[in-house]
């Protein structure tokens, strides 16, 4: 994960939510790929539970006497019904608002208006799954089982018709599937992020040994600073060396016996101090070409 | 050394404790549920959330530490969903659902409900008329396996037998379960299909009506009309009503997709979806009750008048529950 400049593709999926406190939060719409992966994980979990359920009820049925067989069948049928309709509901109703698959992908369901996610909405978006997922699956299974006795054209029409709903998320900016449309929800990517170290902490010790002139500090803007932050964070030896050499050459600085890392840390600290003090005055220098 | 520190570093050091505390609270709430938090923690949450949010806006304006801003963004969003997206207790949700959302959802689609009734009726009439002209039409509406020998060739005695057949209490609860899961599946599908402009929902309702008409024709032509209707309606009032409501909810969604009116299409769809979704949850409950009535009530109660009595009272109960005027509650 890079902290620097998101790619154009990521920017397209960014939305802002203005909280009641008046602060804009940036949200990221989950990509179709992420959602597909989450769905596949969920389906694998369902399939696993299904196999366990069938095995368990199968053994129970064989072991049970004539009288309790009925109870076993009831458990099986209710279990199947719950598995199909309840799995997604239960996951999305929890505090994380995500099924296990979505959790694994760092996704969550949220109400599009920023309000609370109501139970009806979760119910509705998952009922529509019948149309988008289970119906096409059934159609395909039917074709396999009947082995082509279903009229080819009717079958094709059915597939095309289902395809409209299956591929809906690909054709709108918010990646909404039919269930999201009807329920007024969307799926966001909200991974947990750890508080990373402040890269200026290292530089504070090193800086006194370096004396940068204002001109040397003005060589770069915010964008380059953030690239430098990432370089320091990754601390890849080869990259650090290359970047240090580039900067030394550009600002014509004599770094003496200092190592690459020491030099970069000190320079990062100094540049950040300078850019931040200008930021405080309302001047944000975008990048090195921004001379305003 | 301290004067060498940047303002943004000092800012971070000062406030970090609060952020970490909020993060711990949010993580705890997400792992289990809001109930896992103690009272003091619940009270602290909004305060910490607001201070983190203000820290985020300060950081955006004064700090160039990407790690910090990214962290605050993600933490604020997580806390936001918790503070503003927090659901009420299950108890309150259930109350709201039964007292307001479900009947309210059903009431908003009264027009579609009438249409769905009409479509079902139309299906029944068409099937009746077609079978009247040629009894072979029966097999077009009903799968012989499903009809279970209740077809035009059956004798009066065997038909009467099917109406009062008592399988004993064995197998009844399984039968009820199976009926419920099957019907609920069909109803949910009828609703989901509504998204395709409502047409498939109408077709499903029509087919349902046709099946009804076909069966009615078989029994009435054999002079068993009164008995059959009692047999059907003991659970049928609830079940048919539920299926009609499911079709109506589907139509309503389809209508919003096709004709959003003044609102944007997205708004129209999600607004309708909210009411229709509540109604659909109710439909599943109705089908559960219908399955119980069908599995137990019908098999155990064989007196026609008792059957009619139960049918009539379910009709009155549902009618009052959904459509009876009720006092407006303040603040809602």
B274 vs A74: CB contact, 8 Å cut-off? Answer: no
Q: Are residues B135 and B29 in the same domain?
A: no
A77 vs B181: CB contact, 8 Å cut-off? Answer: yes
Q: Are residues B138 and B172 in the same domain?
A: yes
Residue B308 has pLDDT above 70, yes or no: yes
Kindly give, in sequence order, each residue whose CB lies less than 8 Å from that of residue B161, ignoring residues fewer than 6 positions away: none
Q: Are residues B82 and B106 in the same domain?
A: no
B80 vs A17: CB contact, 8 Å cut-off? Answer: yes
Nearest to B66 among A23, A161, A226 (CB): A226
Nearest to B30 among A96, A226, A277 (CB): A96
Alpha-carbon gap: B219 to the closest alpha carbon of chain A (Å): 32
Name the CA radius of gyration of chain B, rounded: 29
Q: Are residues B81 and B100 in the same domain?
A: no
Alpha-carbon gap: B257 to the closest alpha carbon of chain A (Å): 9
> Strand, coil or helix: what is A277?
helix
Indicate the burial class of B262 (C-beta count within 10 angstroms; 0-12, 13-18, 19 or more): exposed
Nearest to B277 among A85, A124, A272 (CB): A124
- Structural domain of B161: 92-323
B64 vs A23: CB contact, 8 Å cut-off? Answer: no
Count of A–B CB contacts within 8 Å? Answer: 216
Structural domains of chain B, count? 2
In a domain, B44, yes or no: yes
Kindly give, in sequence order, each residue whose CB lies less than 8 Å from that of residue A28, ignoring residues fewer than 6 positions away: A10, A13, A14, A15, A188, A189, A190
Q: For A121, name the nearest residue in chain B, comparing CA atoms only.
A: B274
In a domain, B331, yes or no: no
Nearest to B85 among A81, A110, A276 (CB): A110
**The pLDDT of residue A7:** 60
Q: Are residues B97 and B157 in the same domain?
A: yes
Helix (H) or strand (E) holding A25: strand A24-29
Residue pLDDT tens, chain A, 292 long: 344 455 666 778 888 888 888 888 888 899 999 999 999 999 999 999 999 999 998 888 888 777 777 778 888 888 888 888 889 988 888 878 889 999 999 899 988 888 788 888 888 888 888 778 877 777 777 777 766 555 667 677 777 777 888 888 888 888 888 888 888 899 998 878 888 888 787 776 666 677 788 888 888 888 888 889 888 888 888 888 888 888 888 888 877 777 888 888 888 888 888 888 888 888 888 888 877 6
Question: What's the token pair of residue A163?
Answer: 């395809």
* End-of-domain residue from the set B86, B111, B140: B86
Q: How far apart are CA B253 and CA B142, in angstroms?
A: 29
A207 vs B4: CB contact, 8 Å cut-off? Answer: yes
Question: What's the token pair of residue A22?
Answer: 């008046």
Alpha-carbon gap: A242 to the closest alpha carbon of chain B (Å): 22
Residues in A closer than 8 angstroms to B78, CB to CB, are 190, 192
Q: For B32, name the nearest residue in chain A, comparing CA atoms only.
A: A95
* End-of-domain residue from the set B86, B103, B122: B86
Q: Are residues B52 and B181 in the same domain?
A: no
In a domain, B329, yes or no: no
Q: Are residues B181 and B41 in the same domain?
A: no
Q: Are residues B314 and B275 in the same domain?
A: yes
Question: For residue A194, what is the DSSP state?
Answer: -
* End-of-domain residue from the set B55, B86, B117: B86
Q: Are residues B77 and B97 in the same domain?
A: no
Work out the pLDDT band at B115, boundaries 50, 70, 90.
Answer: very high
For residue range B222-279, what is the model confidence (pLDDT) as tens digits? 888 888 888 888 888 898 899 999 999 999 988 888 888 888 888 888 888 888 888 9
Alpha-carbon gap: A131 to the closest alpha carbon of chain B (Å): 6
Q: Are residues B136 and B199 in the same domain?
A: yes
A72, A181, A185: which to substitute to probe chain B, counting the most B Cβ within 10 Å?
A181
B188 vs A225: CB contact, 8 Å cut-off? Answer: no
With tokens 């109506």, the residue in question is B248
In a domain, B330, yes or no: no
Q: How far apart are CA A291 and CA A278, in angstroms?
A: 13
In a domain, B180, yes or no: yes
pTM above the 0.90 mark? no
Interface ipTM above 0.95: no
In a domain, B328, yes or no: no
Nearest to B33 among A95, A184, A233 (CB): A95
Q: Are A271 and A217 a contacting pair, CB within 8 Å?
A: yes
Q: Are residues B156 and B198 in the same domain?
A: yes
Q: Mapped to the 3 state alphabet, what secondary structure does chain B carry?
A: CHHHCCHHHHHHHHHHHHHHHHHHHHHHHHHCCHHHCCHHHHHHHHHHHHHHHHHHHHHHHHCCCHHHHHHHHHHHHHHHHHHHHCCCCHHHHHHHHHHHHHHHHHHHCHHHHHHHHHHHHHHHHHHHHHHHHCHHHHHHHCCHHHHCCCCCCCCHHHHHHHHHCCCCCCCHHHHHHHHHHHHHHHHHHHHHHCCCCCHHHHHHHHHHHHHHHHHHHHHHHCCCHHHHHHHHHHHHHHHHHHHHHHHHHHHHHHHHHHCCCCCCHHHHHHHHHHHHHHHHHHHHHHHHHHHHHHHHHHHHCCCHHHHHHHHHHHHHHHHHHHHCCCCCCCCC
**The pLDDT of residue B217:** 85
Residues in A closer than 8 angstroms to B196, CB to CB, are 131, 161, 165
Q: Are residues B68 and B105 in the same domain?
A: no
**The pLDDT of residue A52:** 93
């Amino acid at each position: 994960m890079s902290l620097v400049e998101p790619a154009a593709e990521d920017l397209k999926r960014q939305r802002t939510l203005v909280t009641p406190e008046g602060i804009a939060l940036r949200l990221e719409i989950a990509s179709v790929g992420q959602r597909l992966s989450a769905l596949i994980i969920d389906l694998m979990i369902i399939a696993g539970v299904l196999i366990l359920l069938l095995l368990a009820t199968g053994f129970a049925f064989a072991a049970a006497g004539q009288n309790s067989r009925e109870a076993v069948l009831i458990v099986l049928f209710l279990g199947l019904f719950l598995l199909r309709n309840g799995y997604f509901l239960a996951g999305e109703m929890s505090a994380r608002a995500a099924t296990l698959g979505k959790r694994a992908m760092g996704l969550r369901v949220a109400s599009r208006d920023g309000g609370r996610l109501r139970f009806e909405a979760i119910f509705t978006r998952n009922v529509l799954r019948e149309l988008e997922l289970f119906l096409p699956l059934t159609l395909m299974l039917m074709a396999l089982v009947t082995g082509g006795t279903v009229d080819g054209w009717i079958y094709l029409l059915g597939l095309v018709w289902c395809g409209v709903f299956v591929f809906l998320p690909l054709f709108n900016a918010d990646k909404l599937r039919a269930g999201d449309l009807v329920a007024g929800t969307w799926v966001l990517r909200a991974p947990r992020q750890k508080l990373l170290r402040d890269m200026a902490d290292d530089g504070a010790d090193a800086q006194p040994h370096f004396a940068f002139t204002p001109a040397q500090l003005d060589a770069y803007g915010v964008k380059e600073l953030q690239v430098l932050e990432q370089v320091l964070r990754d601390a890849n030896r080869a990259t650090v060396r290359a970047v240090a050499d580039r900067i030394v050459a550009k600002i014509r600085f004599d770094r003496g016996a200092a190592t690459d890392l020491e030099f970069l840390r000190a320079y990062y600290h100094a540049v950040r101090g300078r850019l931040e003090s200008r930021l405080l005055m309302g001047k944000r220098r975008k990048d090195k070409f921004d001379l305003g | 050394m301290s004067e060498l520190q940047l303002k943004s570093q000092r800012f971070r050091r000062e406030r970090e404790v609060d952020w970490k505390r909020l993060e711990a609270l949010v993580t705890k709430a997400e792992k289990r549920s809001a109930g896992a938090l103690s009272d003091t923690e619940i009270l602290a949450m909004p305060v910490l959330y607001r201070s983190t949010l203000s820290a985020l806006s300060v950081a955006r304006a004064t700090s160039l530490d990407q790690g910090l801003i990214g962290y605050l963004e993600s933490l604020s969003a997580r806390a936001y969903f918790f503070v503003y997206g927090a659901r009420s207790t299950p108890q309150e949700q259930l109350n709201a659902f039964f007292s307001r959302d479900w009947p309210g959802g059903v009431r908003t689609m009264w027009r579609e409900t009438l249409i769905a009734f009409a479509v079902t009726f139309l299906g029944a009439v068409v099937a009746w008329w077609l079978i009247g002209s040629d009894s072979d039409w029966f097999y077009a509406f009903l799968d012989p396996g499903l009809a279970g020998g209740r077809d035009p060739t059956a004798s009066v005695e065997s038909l009467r037998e099917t109406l009062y057949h008592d399988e004993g209490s064995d197998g009844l609860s399984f039968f009820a379960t199976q009926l419920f899961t099957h019907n609920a599946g069909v109803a949910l599908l009828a609703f989901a299909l509504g998204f395709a402009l409502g047409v498939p929902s109408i077709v499903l309702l029509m087919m349902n009506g046709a099946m009804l008409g076909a069966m009615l024709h078989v029994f009435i032509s054999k002079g068993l009309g009164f008995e059959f209707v009692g047999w059907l309606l003991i659970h049928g009032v609830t079940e048919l009503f539920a299926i009609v409501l499911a079709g109506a909810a589907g139509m309503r969604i389809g209508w919003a997709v096709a004709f959003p009116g003044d609102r944007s299409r997205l708004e129209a769809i999600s607004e309708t979806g909210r009411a229709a979704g509540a109604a659909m949850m109710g439909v599943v409950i109705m089908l559960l009750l219908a399955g119980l009535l069908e599995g137990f009530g019908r098999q155990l109660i064989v007196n026609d008048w008792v059957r009619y009595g139960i049918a009539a009272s379910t009709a009155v109960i549902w009618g009052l529950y959904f459509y009876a005027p009720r006092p407006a509650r303040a603040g809602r």
